[in-house]
Structure 1
Amino acid sequence: MQDQSEQPSRGRSRAVQLDSFGGPEVLTVRQVPVPQAGPKQVRVRVTAAGLNPMDWIMTADADTAARFGLGLPAGFGTDYAGVVDQAGDGVTGFAPGDRVFGGALSRAVADFVVVDLDAVAANEVHHTPDGVDDRTAATLTIAGRTASAALAEVALGPDDTVLIGGAGGGVGVFAVQLALIAGARVIGTGSAASAGFLRELGADPVTYGDGLADRVRALAPGGVTAALDLHGTETLHAARELGVPDNRICTIATKVDGVPAANGANAAPGALEEIARLVAAGRLRVPVAATFPVEQIRQAAGLQAGRHVRGKVVIDL
């Protein structure tokens, strides 16, 4: 975290921006004017920003960016945590000094973000519970919402055995633990090297790749009743081969006819606050794989974009 002596000046602050769409190489740390909170807005002094696959997917090309309402120059990152340092007219429920977390779509990796109190998913602010540090809080919004929405689609219970593809990734670590809290048995796909990590989360590990359905069948001779594919379609096809009906399979990274697809924006009201409470209570943990200072944003984004990170990548500001 940044020392008080290194705080930005009153008039200028740092923000990661890009002038052309592409990969991590287009990301630049710039000095920008400090934004001001307007009516029913709060300004947050960001201390940590969590990275997600959607951050680089949204800014990889112009067509995808346009679908999210983004143009150039664009910011980067959505998940943030920090402290309210300015409240506009008409703000209730938040005051300077409050610890908060939430989403600021494609602008979170910055010293300051301004957020409307008329919250919508990925542009929102919530109180950070005591017992949740800022780095952890900065990982919750996108991945937590997405995992919650995916699990709601398959409605897990104590009688379920669920196959989760991509179980060690940013969304996977939430999905595995939330499924266990629901009482289900979890089988999680990953590389052979990730087996110990998945066991620590509480999942029974299985390696992805050819023959996945046979390996799952050996682990669960009584059958699999639900599946989440958090990466592509391999887990979906294995689940179908294992006899899981389409209405109990959910994807997040692709769409397949007849199979529900989850989006974090569709998470149930209060889902994110409940996840934060579970973290505060010690019932859900978020593995942080790596932290970087904002000056190393290209290295951080490159690591995250490689899709082999076990847990989350966080930027310190």
Structure 2
Amino acid sequence: MSFARFGGPDVLRLIDAEEPHAGPGQVRVAVRAAGVNPVDWRIREGQLLAAHPIELPSGVGLDAAGVVDEVGEDVEGIETGDHVFGEGSDTYAEFAVLSAWARMPADLTFEEAAGYPSVMETALRVIREVGVRPGQTLLVSGASGGVGSAVLQVARHEGIAVIGVAGPANQDYLHSLGAAATTYGRGWVERVRRLGQVDAALDLAGSGVIRELVELTGDPGKVVSIADLRAPDLGVRFSGAAGSMPDALAETARLITRGELHIPVEKTYTLADAAAAHTDSQAGHARGRRVLTI
């Protein structure tokens, strides 16, 4: 999948391209599934050129799960035929090169595995950046999506209470992940206050609630956004620089193996339907993850 100009989902084109090859410290996988992340369509629209400079035409996608079929120099502990999930470049494709990977936990499908890498790296990073501690309460706006699902489960594992805000259809889902929950709409700030004192807050949806999150925490330094590029105008940190993906993958595999982490796949798409996947991702209201199957 490729795009030759910045724009909406309609700029995506399925093309024949040369096969990539693993360089030093990399592996190539025959992709079985690719994760669909908001960063993918933000890059496609040209929103993140400072953080993700690209040359056009460009491929699409960062996350994938598949079968290793080529191992680069200086790579140890992995062989062709191994099933892995991880992060690389241009993963909306039959073959992709990964720069960070981990073996897939037993019983995890390729579709499930593809949904974890960027989501878990982001969740672990923003929990750390917002400075919330065990015994405190974290408010999460956009709590039912992929990153939100990860944040709720990681927070629970670390002894952090969570209040999640999401649409009416996802209230039971948030409760199932151990969060107190409420909806958006008139009076939502008061509903949050009735659920408890808020020590820190995350904006995962970019739904224009930064001012309210600052009001609830009492401190813009206790709010982090991954979705609202205007957050710094209100003194709120916009988190865009990725942390250690190898560490995130290792923690992901550990939590999954221990039965402490599960992010459902809400919907799968074929590679040819990548534009529809981007349209749905931009619309929000997800419960878990969206992935492409190859």
Same fold at TM > 0.5: yes
Output aligned runs, 1:101-140, within 5 Å. Answer: 101-105=85-89, 107-115=90-98, 123-140=99-116
**1:265-312: CA deviations, max 9, x gaps?**
135862331122112221111111101121222222221121122211
Specify which of 130, 142, 147 is matched with residue 171 of structure 1.
Answer: 147
Could you tell me which amino acid in structure 2 is paired with residue 110 of structure 1? A
Amino acid at match of 2:118: I
2:204 to 230, 233, 239: 230
**Aligned equivalents of 1:270, 1:262: Cα separation in 2:** 18
SS in 1 for 2:77: coil
Q: Count how many residue pairs are aligned between Structure 1 and Structure 2.
A: 291
Deviation at 1:240, TM superposition (A): 2.8
Counterparts of 2:162 and 2:93 in 1: how far apart (Å)?
37
Displacement of 1:66: 6.3
Secondary structure at 2:17 match in 1? strand
1:48 aligns with 2:33: yes
- The correspondence for 1:197, drawn from 173, 196, 202, is 173
Within 2, Cα distance between the matches of 1:225 and 1:39? 44
Cross-structure match for 2:243: 266
Contact 1:43 1:113 in 2 (8 A): yes
CA distance in 1, matches of 2:276, 2:227: 24
2:78 aligned partner: 94
In structure 2, which of residues 10, 18, 30 is the aligned counterpart of residue 25 of structure 1? 10
For each residue in 1:168-200, what CA deviation from the matched residue of structure 2 results, as whole angstroms up to 9, or x when unmatched? 112111111111111122111111222122222
| Aligned match for 2:163, one of 176, 187, 192 | 187
Q: Distance in 1 between matches of 2:24 and 2:129?
A: 37
SS in 2 for 1:30: coil
Distance 2:251 2:288 in 1: 20
Cα distance in 1 for partners of 2:159, 2:112 equals 24
1:55 shift after superposition: 0.2
CA shift, 1:243, in A, is 4.2
- Higher Cα Rg: structure 1 or 2? 1
Contact map agreement 1:226 1:248 (CA 8 A) in 2: yes
Quote the Cα distance in structure 1 between the aligned partners of 2:23 and 2:117: 23
The range that moved more, 184-193 or 127-136, is 127-136
Matched residues in 1 for 2:120 and 2:100: separation? 14
Give 1:36 shift: 2.6
Distance 1:258 1:89, change over 3 A: same
Question: Would the alpha carbon gap of residues 267 and 133 (structure 1) be closer, same or farther in structure 2, given more than 3 Å must change?
Answer: same
Query: 1:38 & 1:108 partners in 2: Cα distance?
Result: 16
Label 1:179 to 1:244 Cα distance change in 2 as closer, same or farther (>3 A).
farther
1-side partners of 2:51 and 2:241: how far apart?
Answer: 16
User: How far apart, in 1, do the equivalents of 2:126 and 2:74 lie?
Assistant: 35
* 1:226-255: CA deviation from partner (whole Å, max 9, x where unpaired): 211112374442233234433332222233
- What secondary structure does 2:259 align onto? coil
State the superposition RMSD in angstroms. 2.2
C-alpha change, 1:215 and 1:97, in structure 2 (3 Å) is same
Contact 2:34–2:64 (Cα < 8 Å) also in 1: yes
Please state whether the residue corresponding to 1:266 is helix, strand or coil: coil
Q: Give yes or no for contact 2:27–2:68 (8 Å, CA) kept in 1.
A: yes
- Structure 1 residue 53: Cα displacement: 0.5
Identical-residue share of aligned pairs (%): 38
Name the residue aligned to 1:157: 133
Cα separation, 1, equivalents of 2:169 and 2:75: 49
Amino acid of the residue matched to residue 27 of structure 1?
A: L
Per the alignment, residue 289 of structure 1 pairs with 266
Does the 8 A contact of 1:143 with 1:264 survive in 2?
no
SS of the residue 2:111 aligns to: helix
Question: Partner of 2:97: helix, strand, or coil?
Answer: strand
Partner of 1:300: 277
Contact 2:100 2:245 in 1 (8 A): no
Distance 2:116 2:217 in 1: 33
| Change beyond 3 A, Cα 1:282–1:235 | farther
Structure 2 length normalisation: TM-score?
0.90
Unaligned runs of 5+ in 1: 1-15, 116-122
Between the aligned partners of 1:300 and 1:239, the Cα distance in structure 2 is 29
User: How many angstroms apart in 1 are the aligned matches of 2:199 and 2:125?
Assistant: 18
